[in-house]
Amino acid sequence: MSAVAGASIILEQKYGIPTAPFTTDAFIEVTANDRKAGYVPFLFTPHPVIGMSDEALDGYVVGENPDSGNPVIQDIIENLTKPVDPAKLKFKAAMVESKGDSGSFLEPDTEENLQQLFYDKGWTDGLPIVLPTEERVNKMLTGTCADPDEIVGEMMRFDIRGMVQYSVQNVAVLAVMAGAKPEYLPVILATAAHKLDAIQSSTSNWSAMLLVNGPIRNEIGMNSGIGALSPVNMANSVIGRAWSLMSTCWLDMRPRRNMWSSLGSSLNYNNNCCSENEEASPWEPFHVQHGFHKDESTVSIFRGWVFVNSAGTASRRTIGEEMCLNLSFIPPTNASATIVMDPLIAKMLKNEGGFETKQKYSRWLSMNIKMPADRYWGFDHVDWLVSPLAIQGIEPYATFQKAKPDELITPYHDPEKINLVVVGGETNPLWKYSEYGYQGSESIDKWRATPAGVECKDGECGLPDPPVEYD
Amino acid sequence: MTIQLLDNVINPEPVGATSNKGVFAGPEVPAQSLAPRLDTLEGKTVYLIDIGYGGSYKFMQAIQRWLGKNMPSVKTVRKRTPSTFLSERETAFFEEIKAGGDAAVIGVGG
């Protein structure tokens, strides 16, 4: 919708072309809140357009504009031939320019009332939260050396077409709500510092993954082994949950406000948060691949649409053949793939397949994952997002577009974008595959209670509590 | 049993918010700045611009069919946008429409 609005403004203002911009009636409300769309004379069809037959769309053209009640074709003709009534332009959103008080308190109340208040305000993911009392937040802040008022970053909030800014204390509040311990806070702060939202204001079903590498994995007891992606480990569960709460609480991620995903994604409950099984992996850790020292702790972020389990392992085909077959049905929009594999798979690939490094296997996959050209271009979001690259002559997409319909192309053509991560407990040689793209990594160490290079006086800063011993 | 919290609870909202900033920020465009409208579509050329999203091309085909049947003097040109988010830098695209077209329909956004 923003793409249509932006182009309409250029056509109207710079080129003097009267324009009838279209979206569907699902977005009437969004149009009214959009600073671009609200100032051009948008018209609306029934929703959806995609997937409708020619006959149905012919009906849309002569049928009613759900917004005006007029026939759509009549509105098109009038929009292009009659002066636009300013009163019909929709923009109504108020400017937001606030400097909130990060210490604003809610009065003490009963646990039940406060839980209900948080739910009513949209400040939960639907699950009960740990109420962020002053005492709990102050305790959480002992997990970092950072000043509570330090600004960590900003994220985009869709409905105001603007940015929200958050402090260390804001992050600590969400860490408490998610159920974190103070020693998890540096990981959550590093995630927040990356400035990407876990849940996006998209009508599609995005999801994401958080991967932790380095010594902090074991210091805070993260699970990289059996059930690493199952709801069994506190650190994995609540660190990933805290990331989604950033969208929930800061970006007002409620349906028809900023949440527009048609089906949503249950993966957002903890965003596949896990740590790499560096001890069992035969390859270098993911963060080392990306320029970090092995003793540095990092969090890496991945996002995309598709995240799938291998139903079984490779028994009648090779691992490579099986993975190529898996990915040949997933269209990547920018050649990205992320494969999360059990250490058994990684060891087989290295010892029996001869892939001494992750990079060698990524290169092999990039050349061997193939799909017919018409399957690739037939995917809606490939047509939408990749076709423009082909039109501009950018390779290999221009060549892909010239291919015959049944000609095999290699859509995962860039080995640099095929990410391999080793996670799991070696009970079965399985993997998960996705078209998730790698969004980058953040160092965790600067957020620790004792940052790297600073001497700790008692040797206990940032470490978890020792196990409690019972009689 | 009712549990009473005796400690203040902190509001989880962020410290600040600024609208119309970031990748979706846009200018305020007063209605007066819209292009002059045509007297009629008869005999004119209308560009039907498909942004590539969600079956847009089929909707533009439907408009083209209607105009071809009911207003045959209107010439239509269907055109696919050369990028996902058009910018002013894509002058060739806009210049073509300016040179050959009198009006445009663009969509369908989602």
User: Helix, strand, coil proportions of chain A in percent (round to 5)?
Assistant: 35, 15, 45
pLDDT reading at A87 higher than 80: no
Parallel, antiparallel or unpaired: strands A337-341 and A431-434: antiparallel
pLDDT digit string (tens) for chain B, length 110 residues: 677 777 889 999 999 888 878 877 766 656 557 899 999 999 999 999 999 887 899 999 999 999 999 999 999 999 999 888 888 888 999 999 999 999 999 999 77
Least confident of A147-156, A203-212, A282-291, B24-33: B24-33
CB contact under 8 A, B10 and A132: yes
When CB atoms are compared, the residue of A4, A27, A94 closest to B51 is A4
CA-closest candidate to residue A131, choices A145, A121, A143? A121
What integer pLDDT is reported at residue A461 of this predicted model? 47
When CB atoms are compared, the residue of B41, B63, B94 closest to A81 is B41
- In B, minimum Cα distance to A133 occurs at B9
Retrieve residue A73's tokens. 């074709």
Q: How far does the CA of residue A220 sit from the closest CA of chain B (Å)?
A: 25
When CB atoms are compared, the residue of B4, B9, B15 closest to A133 is B9
CB contact under 8 A, A12 and B108: no
Percent over 70 (pLDDT), chain A:
92
Percent over 90 (pLDDT), chain A:
77
Chain B environment of A118 (Cβ under 8 Å): 12
Question: Which pLDDT tens digit goes with each residue over A415-441?
Answer: 999 999 999 999 999 999 999 999 999
Predicted model pTM: 0.89
What integer pLDDT is reported at residue A468 of this predicted model? 53
**Amino acid sitting at position A83:** P
pLDDT reading at A90 higher than 70: no
pLDDT reading at A456 higher than 80: no
Q: How far does the CA of residue B74 sit from the closest CA of chain A (Å)?
A: 11
When CB atoms are compared, the residue of A82, A132, A388 closest to B84 is A388
Rounded CA separation B55/B47 (Å): 17
Rounded CA separation A140/A172 (Å): 6
Rounded CA separation A381/A383 (Å): 5
Chain A environment of B43 (Cβ under 8 Å): none
**Do residues A154 and A164 lie in contact, with contact meaning Cβ atoms separated by under 8 Å?**
yes
Whether the CB of A192 is below 8 Å from some CB of chain B: the reply is no
What integer pLDDT is reported at residue A161 of this predicted model? 82
- In A, minimum Cα distance to B16 occurs at A99
pLDDT-based confidence at residue A458 (cuts at 50, 70, 90)? low
Parallel, antiparallel or unpaired: strands A418-422 and A337-341: parallel
CB contact under 8 A, A165 and B82: no
Question: Which pLDDT tens digit goes with each residue over A32-42?
Answer: 777 677 778 89
Question: Which pLDDT tens digit goes with each residue over A268-310?
Answer: 999 999 999 999 999 999 999 999 999 999 999 999 999 999 9
Whether the CB of A164 is below 8 Å from some CB of chain B: the reply is yes
What integer pLDDT is reported at residue A95 of this predicted model? 63
Least confident of A28-37, A145-154, A351-360: A28-37
What integer pLDDT is reported at residue A452 of this predicted model? 59
What integer pLDDT is reported at residue A470 of this predicted model? 55
Q: What are phi and psi of A258, to 5 degrees?
A: -125, -10
CA-closest candidate to residue A183, choices A147, A145, A149, A226? A145
Q: How far does the CA of residue B67 sit from the closest CA of chain A (Å)?
A: 9
CB contact under 8 A, B109 and A3: yes
CB contact under 8 A, B10 and A26: no
Q: How far does the CA of residue B58 sit from the closest CA of chain A (Å)?
A: 7
Judge residue A2's burial from the number of C-beta atoms within 10 Å of its C-beta, 0-12 exposed, 13-18 middle, 19 or more buried.
buried
ipTM for the predicted complex comes to 0.89
CB contact under 8 A, B5 and A108: yes
What integer pLDDT is reported at residue A101 of this predicted model? 66
Taking residues A5-11, report their average pLDDT. Answer: 89
Rounded CA separation A309/A89 (Å): 47
When CB atoms are compared, the residue of A110, A131, A157 closest to B2 is A110
Spatial strand order in the sheet of A162-167: A97-99, B16-18, A162-167, A151-157
Kindly state the helix (H) or strand (E) to which residue A327 belongs, with its residue range.
helix A319-327
Rounded CA separation A185/A142 (Å): 9
CA-closest candidate to residue A432, choices A230, A196, A234? A230
Pairs across A and B, CB distance < 8 A: 336
Whether the CB of A104 is below 8 Å from some CB of chain B: the reply is yes
When CB atoms are compared, the residue of A3, A89, A108 closest to B51 is A3
pLDDT-based confidence at residue A462 (cuts at 50, 70, 90)? very low
Mean pLDDT estimate for chain A: 91
Chain A environment of B101 (Cβ under 8 Å): 17
Taking residues A246-254, report their average pLDDT. Answer: 95
